[in-house]
Amino acid sequence: MDYHDGTRAVRAGLPEPVPGQPFLPGPVFAGPYHLDPVAGPNAAPDAYGRESNPTLGRLEAAIAELEGAAGCLVFANGMAAVSAAMLALTRPGDAVTVPADGYFGVRLFADGDLVPRGIAVRAILTDADHDFTGVRLAVLETPANPSMAVCDIAALSARAHAAGALVAVDNTMATPLGQRPLDLGADLVVASGTKALTGHSDLLLGYLASNDPDLLATLRSWRSHTGGLPGPFEAWLAHRSLGTLDLRLGRQSANAAAVHGMLAKRPEVTNLRWPGTDPVALRQMRRIPGVLAFELPSADHVGAFLTHSALVHPATSFGGLHTTADRRAQWGENVPEGLVRLSCGCEDVDDLLADLAAALDRAAG
């Protein structure tokens, strides 16, 4: 049966019900597993913890189901996932593209670790026209963090494929309930599950998902050789959290729509961006994330705003239950000093709006 998103999120990756057993079995802690004395590792799916674990396997099945993918590989964090893709799928002499206005950690990795290996790196703006001639791997991020820029996945995937490039889309901001890049032509999904996917600000996680068995085999081999798996408890926490994904995204998106309307009327707020007003995002996304970007006049203004807010926590992640804000320039990112990335949580919208308005009033006065 073709279930709706809420049902899919609640049930993804769960085992068949067995009387006396839990809905989601607890984490399995193991390094080695018992082997068949004759068949060895071929007799059972799990043989050694660096390569597989039943708790990780259930989480991977759940994420693959939500992404519409044939398979998924989970990693210890988002950077472990994206670096695995960029290193495993390229060779010296290749070229890759990375978002110039997306997550700066990817650009730092590309410049610091790919370029010295003889891999050319092209930084391109998310919503600009792209030329993929000579590119081996095109890494896209939409909506981009922190610019909130949006690109047309289907159009860029077709253009990249025509040039012979693979396409990897960072789906961190959207989550698989907000956007399914594989359905739009991408070869690979990469994401940080630390953010909205798990949404409780209590774990680190990353993943890769694809419908291409050769890509999955290459990436699985890379992960086996290099490590980078999360622990079973983190995987179990992540799977537990998926059940509320639809509910959390619904509240966060509704809160962001209301906050966007309020911020649009503030004279001190400039360059306000939210994908809910972008026609490309509205066409290709299943739902809009609860994250906005805007600028205040200065770093001090941002500091005053955050100091006077009772509900907005300064933090450098996003997508959680609690509303958070991050002044991105404080991390050395090349953005305006007053740029704020605001991630709406699951608070009551009237309380959130009142708190934001009061904090902005005091910061301005």
Q: Is the pLDDT of residue 360 over 80?
A: yes
Predicted pLDDT of residue 251: 98
- Distance (Å, rounded) from C-alpha 93 to C-alpha 361? 54
Q: Is the pLDDT of residue 359 over 80?
A: yes
Average pLDDT over residues 345-360: 98
The domain locations on the chain are: 5-242, 245-364
pLDDT band at 1 (very low <50, low <70, confident <90, very high): confident
Average pLDDT over residues 109-115: 97
> Which class is domain 5-242?
alpha beta
pLDDT band at 63 (very low <50, low <70, confident <90, very high): very high
159 and 151 Cβ atoms separated by less than 8 Å: no
> For residue 191, with 0-12 CB atoms within 10 Å meaning exposed, 13-18 middle and 19 or more buried, which class applies?
buried
What φ, ψ does residue 263 adopt, rounded to 5°?
Answer: -65, -30
CATH superfamily of 245-364: Aspartate Aminotransferase, domain 1 (3.90.1150.10)
Q: How far is CA 225 from CA 35, 44, 245, in A?
A: 21, 20, 32
DSSP 86-104: HHHT--TT-EEEEETTS-H
Q: What is the pLDDT of residues 188-231, one digit of tens each?
A: 999 999 999 999 999 999 999 999 999 999 999 999 999 999 99
Q: What percent of the chain has pLDDT over 70?
A: 100
85 and 137 Cβ atoms separated by less than 8 Å: yes
Q: What is the pLDDT of residues 244-292, one digit of tens each?
A: 999 999 999 999 999 999 999 999 999 999 999 999 999 999 999 999 9
